[in-house]
Amino acid sequence: MNVIKTPIEGLLILEPKIHGDSRGYFFESYNAQTFESVTGQKINFVQDNQARSSINVLRGLHYQNAPTPQTKLIRALEGTIWDVVVDLRKDSKTFGHWFGVELSAENKRQFLIPQGFAHGYSVLSETAEVFYKCDNFYDKSAEGGVNYADSTLNIDWKINLVDAIVSEKDIAQPMLKDAIINF
């Protein structure tokens, strides 16, 4: 597995080794021993989530506060997404900075997002199926969010926001300056 570091400390892009031949391909999408050896982290993932969306759907920006913040390992099983995170770690030199990466069924990349980040994505293909692992269970009482259109973040979602399909809940999320952040 190849590990690509990003400009924000702790964010990693993981590229699996693909074994292909005339029959198709095979790869390990997750192996705890390999994961620990290449990332230096032992993470106990306890919950898997999967979502299907159509083109121009924008989900996010979501996170969970303490006591149940979540590390996530994201990948696209079908289609292509633009996956975005915002650093919410108050002591981080990159607090309030965002980073995006294209995840697709074709590139098979995975995005490791540590606790302390808001996460969201936009769908670039006709449909996309997204799968992710979490190291803490969903906890409604710990939910947090930042508005995807916060002008201070100036996120490039790779879609025209006029065409974005966004939930009422995500439209109502606070701007970063007003968000409740407890990590």
Give yes or no for a contact between 53 and 76, defined as CB atoms under 8 angstroms apart. no
Task: State the Cα–Cα distance between residues 130 and 121, nearest whole angstrom.
Answer: 10
Instruction: Give the Å distances, CA to CA, from 122 to 103, 105, 171, 172.
Output: 11, 15, 14, 17
β partners of residue 111: 13, 74
Q: Which of 62, 63, 119, 121 is catalytic?
A: 62
Q: Which of 63, 119, 121, 132 is catalytic?
A: 132
3-class DSSP state of 177: helix
Task: State the Cα–Cα distance between residues 128 and 40, nearest whole angstrom.
Answer: 30
Q: Which residues contact 37 (CB under 8 A, 6 or more apart)?
A: none
Residue 10 corresponds to which amino acid? G
25 is catalytic: no
β partners of residue 33: none
132 is catalytic: yes
Sequence-ordered alpha helix ranges (H) in 5-116: 32-39
CB atoms within 10 A of CB 8: 20
Catalytic residue list: 62, 132
